A and B are shown apart, each in its own frame.
Chain A
Amino acid sequence: MSNKIKSITNPKLKLEILTPADVKKIHEATLWIIEKVGVKFPSKRALDIWAENGAEVDRDRKIVRVRGDVIESALKKCPPMYPLAARDPSQDLSLDGNHVFVGTDGCGVEVIDIQTGQRRLSKLQDVADIARIADATEEIAFHWVPVSAQDKPPETRGLHEVKTIWENSTKHAQTESIYSEHEAKAALEMAAMIAGSKEALRKRPVLSLMQCTASPLGHDGGSLDAALLAAEAGIPTGFMTMAACLTTGPATLAGNLAVGNAEVIAATALLQLAHPGAPVFYAAAQTASDPRSGAYTGGGPEDFLFGAATNVLADFYNIPLSMGSFATGAKEPNWQAGVENSLSTFMASIAMSDMLLGVGFLHGSRIWSFAEMMMDCEIFSIIHKVMQGIIVDDETLALDAIAAVGPTGHFLAQKHTRQHMRDIFLCEFMDRRPYGEWENKKDDGRDWALAKARKILAEHKPEPLDPKLSREFDKIIESLENKTAA
């Protein structure tokens, strides 16, 4: 299996989804929201930092109102680029604005069992299996904790999950499942052991943290404390808004962008006020609720527009973006999954979002499917190819070959054809067979994708983690479990 990582870089396609004037309006609206309406920060530590920096702090309601210039000057301290480090340094990812990397999605609660095909609750072994398969693919550049290890105690579940990822893959690990101070401390200790020291971890962060906001205009206290600890340690930290038109955000797209933006940049500014220069990223997966039921959609034209627009905002603040793409609302890998995951990922890619989250889920990031995981990888590969655009030069205009073939005839026997035929995309899960062959077998990409996942799981041996480190991690987790039990 390959150590190579596929990323979109130097794209030839462009899209102007928001004009500079649009962005300025959204930014100004955002500052107005933060100053006049306020954002909820239910953490003593966070409220103290805001108070020290001249914000108007309502301690009872835990709502903070901050002047725009405070937010703007804090955001200027964000580093524009930094790496997501991997256990294997050749797999470090540069968040430099010129790469789009894909991760596994998270954090689901059920899994379609890779052997039996039955849907069941997720457990730690699933985290291991998914990490191992992701380790073998070129398309998956980093891990998000994909499913919840529900066979482990809630207090240390997040730690079991990242430990398992490190044991099954050399690629970068990101988690949204560590959202308390005690777990964050333990995770940072584990990450420092992998990097070699706390200082080494700062230079090569092998772990990054994602915290969800509580739309509209709120945050979770534990998340804020964990994020502040991570920022202090130099671990990349992002806040993800999932503001949804109609329910947790206004029905209009621009208003929804402003609400989400207020949540993200207020929390990002908080981290910079506390730890100037800490690596941070913008994260988003906005959507629109279904007007008929209020249901989470997991796809739709609004999501696709958010997918491209949010990177324009992140670029405006000059920080990397992790964008929600894929994550179809479909119940099985089907037509809906193909449409939603292709369009959401295309729109997030054409805007050059730095991280895309992510492959593998059905039913709105709830049910993990190994077939969907593999097919999502193919969607990314197709978009990767599309983003390369059309190169026009003497070689690609192929005039010599055209003259050699002339009217009628064919290009199959031309040297030029042989030289360039491998530039043409080869699909793995699209059915291009003769009709009769399909008619005999009646199988399709879903079967082939599942077979590929099974083959990787059976054959791929990731570079193991030093067993000494595994034992140390066990001790850290055990001592935390004993403490919470006591």
Chain B
Amino acid sequence: MSEELYKKMAQSIIDGDPDASAALAREAIAAGIIHPLDAITKGFVIGVNTVGDAFGRGEAFLPELVMAGEAMKAAVATLDPELKRLGSERKMLGKVVIATVEGDIHEIGKSLVATMLGASGFDVHDLGVDAAPEKIIGKALEVNADIIAMSALLTTTMVKQKEVIEDLEKEGLRGKFKVMVGGAPVTRDWVKTIGADGYSEDAMGAVTVAKQLLETK
């Protein structure tokens, strides 16, 4: 019975169907025979891994990966209140505060990275676009983040990535957070110049970088 349900959960993620994954999450809670944590680790995550592996082999496409991420998000959102009620917590890889920097409204790259990090088991706090340095640092302190991730599409806003790092240093907080940056104009040289810790050119690469940064923390 539960095996059957786990399979359906994984499939709802593979199908990228948030309605189905949320419905299955509700079903699990109502039936009460599956612990919400098991629903995640034995059901939904299997689906995420399946799509992720297929993407790595070039067989699944980006929309499928994003849809799997969205379906995962819907399932977790449904299960969260029940988890809290039971007093148990999902073990996360780490906490990430992510934003597009101040003055920049370009969102898709940042959102993709957020979705992929979330689907890979990070606790992601997405501040959206046009986020001022103090807002980013404030949120990182508030949630006790492991990683600050910043996106910029313009060379004119990219400098804000540098500003955040400088502010962290000024306030003696630089050692507390790993900083990763991204965006079309960002290069390895820029990363070195501003003293960031990590960088990737695409969303899946960002997940790998985030995992590596946690290990060095």
Stretch in contact with the other chain, from A61-69, A100-108, A409-417: A409-417
Q: Which of B159-217 contact A (CB under 8 A)?
A: 187-188, 200-202, 205
* Chain A residue at minimum C-beta to C-beta distance from B16: A418
The residue of chain A having its C-beta at the shortest distance from the C-beta of B112 within the complex is A412
Encoded as 1 (CB less than 8 Å from any B CB) or 0, chain A from 415 to 444 comes to: 001100110000000000011100000000
Closest Cβ of chain A to B148, distance in Å, is 22
Check: B107 CB closer than 8 A to any chain A CB: yes
Give the shortest distance, in Å, between B144 (CB) and chain A (any CB).
30
* Contact between A435 and B201, CB atoms less than 8 A apart: yes
Q: Is the interface of B mostly helix, strand, loop or mixed?
A: helix
Question: Which residues A373-415 have CB closer than 8 A to chain B?
Answer: 408-414
Interface of A is mostly: loop
Does B108 make an interface contact (CB < 8 A)? yes
Question: Which residues of A have CB within 8 Å of B66?
Answer: 410, 412-413
- Is the beta-carbon distance between A412 and B62 smaller than 8 angstroms? yes
B126 contacts the other chain (Cβ, under 8 Å)? no
In the complex, what residues of A have CB within 8 A of residue B51's CB?
none
Shortest Cβ gap from B192 to chain A (Å): 13
- Residues of A near B111 (CB, < 8 A) are 410
> Are B205's CB and A434's CB within 8 A?
yes
Q: Count residues of chain B with CB under 8 A from any CB of chain A.
A: 19
List, in ascending order, chain B residues with CB within 8 A of A414's CB. 63
- Bound CA span A248–B62, Å: 54
Q: Which of B52-80 contact A (CB under 8 A)?
A: 61-64, 66-67, 70
Determine whether the beta carbon of A418 is less than 8 Å from that of B63.
yes
Chain B residue contacts of A434, Cβ below 8 A: 200-202, 205
Q: Are B108 and A410 in contact (CB under 8 A)?
A: yes
| Docked CA distance A481–B169 (Å) | 88
Q: How far is the CA of A436 from the CA of B201 in the complex (A)?
A: 8
Q: Which residues of B contact A421 (CB under 8 A)?
A: 61, 63-64
Name the distance in Å between B63's Cβ and chain A's nearest Cβ. Answer: 5
Report whether B63 and A412 are in contact in the complex, using a CB–CB cutoff of 8 Å: yes
Q: Give complex CA distance A422, B188 in Å.
A: 33
Cβ contact within 8 Å between B188 and A436: yes
Shortest beta-carbon distance from A398 to chain B in Å:
13
In the bound complex, CA of A436 to CA of B105 (Å): 26
In the bound complex, CA of A435 to CA of B200 (Å): 10
CB-CB < 8 A to B202: which residues of A?
434
In the bound complex, how far is the Cα of B210 from the Cα of A444, in angstroms? 29
B128 to chain A, nearest CB (A): 10
* Complex: chain B residue closest to A420, CB-CB: B63
Q: Which residues of B contact A436 (CB under 8 A)?
A: 188, 201
Residues A418 and B201 in contact, CB atoms below 8 Å apart:
no
Cα-based distance from A412 to B112 in the complex (angstroms): 9
User: B64 and A408: CB pair below 8 A?
Assistant: no
Closest chain A residue, CB of each to CB of B201: A434
Contact A418 to B67, CB < 8 A, known contacts A410-B111, A412-B62, A436-B188:
yes
Once the chains are docked, how many angstroms separate the CA of A410 from the CA of B114? 13
Complex Cα distance, B66 from A417, in Å, reads 11
Contacts of B112 in A (CB 8 A): 410, 412
Contact B201 A413 (CB under 8 A): no
In the complex, residue of chain B having the shortest beta-carbon distance to the beta carbon of A416: B63
Cα separation A410 to B111 with both chains bound (whole Å): 9
Shortest C-beta distance, A417 to chain B (Å), equals 5
- What's the Cα separation between A436 and B198 when bound, in Å? 13
A439 nearest in chain B by CB position = B188
* Docked pose: A6 CA to B215 CA in angstroms: 50
CB distance from A442 to the nearest CB of B (A): 16
Give chain A interface residues in 429-463, CB to chain B under 8 Å. Answer: 434-436
Q: In the complex, A408→B102 CA distance in Å?
A: 17
A208→B43 CA distance, assembly (Å): 60
Given known contacts A412-B112, A434-B202, A434-B205, is B64 in contact with A418 (CB within 8 Å)?
yes
For A408, A412, A434, A436, the residue with the greatest tally of chain B CB atoms inside 10 Å of its CB is A412
Q: Which residues, 265 to 321 on A, are CB-close (under 8 Å) to B?
A: none
CB distance from B167 to the nearest CB of A (A): 27
Shortest distance in angstroms between A24's beta carbon and chain B's nearest beta carbon? Answer: 51
Known contacts A410-B108, A412-B112, A436-B188; A417/B63 CB under 8 A: yes
- How distant is B57 from chain A, measured CB to nearest CB, in Å? 14
CB closest chain-A residue, reference B187:
A435
Question: In the complex, what distance in Å separates the CA atom of A434 from the CA atom of B63?
Answer: 18
Q: How distant is the Cα of A403 from the Cα of B12 in the complex, in angstroms?
A: 25
Q: How far is the CB of B72 from chain A (nearest CB, A)?
A: 12
Can you sample 29 A-B contacts with CB below 8 Å?
Answer: A408-B105, A409-B107, A410-B66, A410-B108, A410-B111, A410-B112, A411-B63, A412-B63, A412-B66, A412-B108, A412-B112, A413-B16, A413-B63, A413-B67, A413-B70, A417-B63, A418-B16, A418-B63, A418-B64, A418-B67, A421-B61, A421-B63, A421-B64, A422-B61, A434-B200, A434-B202, A434-B205, A436-B188, A436-B201
Residues of B within 8 A of A (CB): 16, 61-64, 66-67, 70, 105, 107-108, 111-112, 187-188, 200-202, 205
Extra contacts besides A434-B200, A436-B188 (10): CB < 8 Å: A409-B107, A410-B66, A410-B111, A412-B66, A413-B16, A413-B63, A418-B64, A422-B61, A434-B202, A434-B205
Ranked 6 nearest A-B pairs via Cβ: A434-B201, A412-B66, A417-B63, A410-B108, A412-B63, A413-B70
